[in-house]
Amino acid sequence: MIGLRRGLVRGARISALGVHVPERVLTNDEISQFLDTSDEWILTRTGIRERRIARVDEAASDLGEIAARRCLESGLLDPTELDLVIVTTISPDHMMPATASIVADKIGATKAGAFDVQAGCTGFVYGLAIATAFVSANIYQNVLVVGAEVLSKMVDWEDRSTCVLFGDGAGAVLVQPTDNGSIFSFDLGNDGSGAAYLNVPAGGSRRPASFETVRKHEHAMHMTGSEVFKFATRTVVGSCEKVLGDADLTVEDVDLFVPHQANIRIIETAARRLGFTEAQVFANLDRYGNTSCASIPICLHEASQNGRLKKGDMLLMAGFGAGLTWGSCLTKWEL
Ligand code: ACO
């Protein structure tokens, strides 16, 4: 069993999936009505046409709750049977408590532990790795990983270089034991020397909230896009090669490559360098933008709904984001 090479005691698999995106669609043309930008600029530089925007009264836990409920319904699991709820997000409801505590309460996961994972947009892959470790080590049977984001509240809507990129949404997966060891290999990475390239400067202990931080829009995401772009293409390629090598597989063995949906140019560059054909690569950021920790599960749902991802397929997922972090996961799709 390939998974045993990585020290897994027993196999783990993704056994259910649920997603939720807000109804409200915000198009590039609408943004260009209040910002000096255009559909043409956004589309050619990023591949994004539109994104979903949460209601004013909606926070990450609200979207995460619906995705989590849908996931448990499809997995036929009662929420009280959950052992652990992990929420991955860069737009938590609060600095404290963890959004996972709120989601667990909302769905009735009364017997589960709960905590958040903050690893930028790589959070979903990190969360999946943690869930796999708990299940594989025989500590837990039922672990829910929820990627939930309301990034529309984390961007500066006067900063055209960031606000056009992001969208809101949530996705959840259930990780359970299997005899087949269907999650084969992970690679998690970090280079904190790039922390300043993508951050929310204020609101933490380094720079607590003040009138000045609010005036300077320092509670919104700041990004040096060109540096993140270079970092992303480099690390995604290296990370994917590593997980494939660990499993003694090559790109030809992969049925579907689902990268984090940040920019179509990053996806195309990484896919080309890795040697994937167009048919092997999944992208839907034209309709959702960058939903950070929710982007991969939103892709998985769409791909499985429209037949691009079928039971038994070899699936490669790759994330990258603030930290700067990156991570990849190779698994057999069993839904
Ligand atoms: N509309 C029109 N013009 C714009 C816009 C806009 N929305 N945004 C920037 N511009 C302008 C800039 O002001 C600049 O003008 P100038 O030449 O007069 O100074 C020009 O366009 C070029 O700007 P660049 O930043 O060089 O544009 P670039 O081609 O690098 O694209 C982008 C910018 C899309 C942000 C790109 O760098 C990128 O996608 N980077 C990666 C971002 C990313 O992946 N982020 C998510 C990481 S995941 C996470 O953890 C959140």
Query: pLDDT band for position 180 (50/70/90)?
Result: confident
Q: From atom 26 of ligand 1, which residue's Cα is the shortest distance away?
A: 226
Q: Which pLDDT does position 2 carry in this prediction?
A: 40
Residue nearest to ligand 1 atom 7, measured at CA: 160
Q: Are 54 and 22 in contact (CB under 8 A)?
A: yes
φ, ψ for residue 127, nearest 5 deg = -60, -40
pLDDT at 204: 97
Closest ligand 1 atom, CA of 46?
34
Structure confidence at residue 184 (pLDDT): 83
CATH of domain 11-181: 3.40.47.10
Domain definitions of the chain by residue range: 11-181, 184-332
- Give the per-residue pLDDT at 10: 83
pLDDT higher than threshold 80 for residue 134: yes
pLDDT of 9:
60
Is residue 259 lining ligand 1, measured as CB closer than 6 Å? Answer: no
Q: From atom 41 of ligand 1, which residue's Cα is the shortest distance away?
A: 229
Q: Reply yes or no on whether the pLDDT at 5 is more than 50.
A: no
Mean pLDDT of the chain: 96
Indicate whether residue 293 lines ligand 1 (CB < 6 A).
Answer: no
* HEC string for the chain: CHHHHHCCCCEEEEEEEEEECCCCEEEHHHHCCCCCCCHHHHHHHHCCCEEECCCCCCCHHHHHHHHHHHHHHHCCCCHHHCCEEEEECCCCCCCCCCHHHHHHHHHCCCCCEEEEECECECHHHHHHHHHHHHHHCCCCCCEEEEEEEEHHHCCCCCCHHHHCCECEEEEEEEEEEECCCCEEEEEEEECHHHHHHEECCCCCCCCCCCHHHHHCCCCCCEECHHHHHHHHHHHHHHHHHHHHHHCCCCHHHCCEEEECCCCHHHHHHHHHHHCCCHHHECCCHHHHCECHHHHHHHHHHHHHHCCCCCCCCEEEEEEEECCCEEEEEEEECCC
Q: Which of 151, 144, 118, 124 is nearest to 300 (CA)?
A: 124
Q: How confident is the model at residue 3 (pLDDT cuts 50, 70, 90)?
A: very low
Q: Calculate what percentage of the chain has a pLDDT beyond 90.
A: 95
**Strand partners of residue 321:** 325
Task: Determine the average pLDDT of the residues in 97-108.
Answer: 98
The active-site residue, picked from 71, 121, 163, 329, is 121
321 in ligand 1 pocket by Cβ < 6 Å?
yes
Assess whether the C-beta atom of 226 lies below 6 angstroms from ligand 1.
yes
Going by DSSP bridges, is the β-strand pair 84-88/143-150 parallel, antiparallel, or unpaired?
parallel
Cα 15 to averaged position of ligand 1 atoms, centre (Å): 38
CA distance 1 to 11: 9
Catalytic: 260? yes
> How far is ligand 1, taken at its centre, from the CA of residue 137, in Å?
43
Can you give the pLDDT at residue 138? 93
Q: Are 197 and 324 in contact (CB under 8 A)?
A: yes
Q: What amino acid occupies position 28?
A: N
Q: Inform me whether the pLDDT recorded for 7 exceeds 60.
A: no
pLDDT at 106 over 50: yes
CA-proximal residue: ligand 1, atom 30 (nearest): 226
Report yes or no: 258 and 316 within 8 Å, Cβ to Cβ: yes
Instruction: Give tens-digit pLDDT for 217-254.
Output: 999 999 999 999 999 999 999 999 999 999 999 999 99
Q: What is the CATH number of domain 184-332?
A: 3.40.47.10
Verify whether residue 290 is a known catalytic residue.
Answer: yes
Question: Considering 199, 290, 293, 301, which one is annotated as catalytic?
Answer: 290
pLDDT of residue 118: 98
Atom nearest to 323 CA in ligand 1 = 50
Q: Are both 11-181 and 184-332 of the same fold?
A: yes
* Mean of pLDDT values over 174-184: 88
For residue 35, what pLDDT band results from cuts at 50, 70 and 90?
very high
Q: Which residue's alpha carbon is at the smallest distance from atom 36 of ligand 1? A: 225
Catalytic (active site) residue 299: no
Token pair, residue 248, equals 């003694």
- The residue-averaged pLDDT of 40-63 equals 98
Whether residue 41 has its Cβ less than 6 Å from ligand 1: yes
Mean pLDDT of the region 103-116: 98
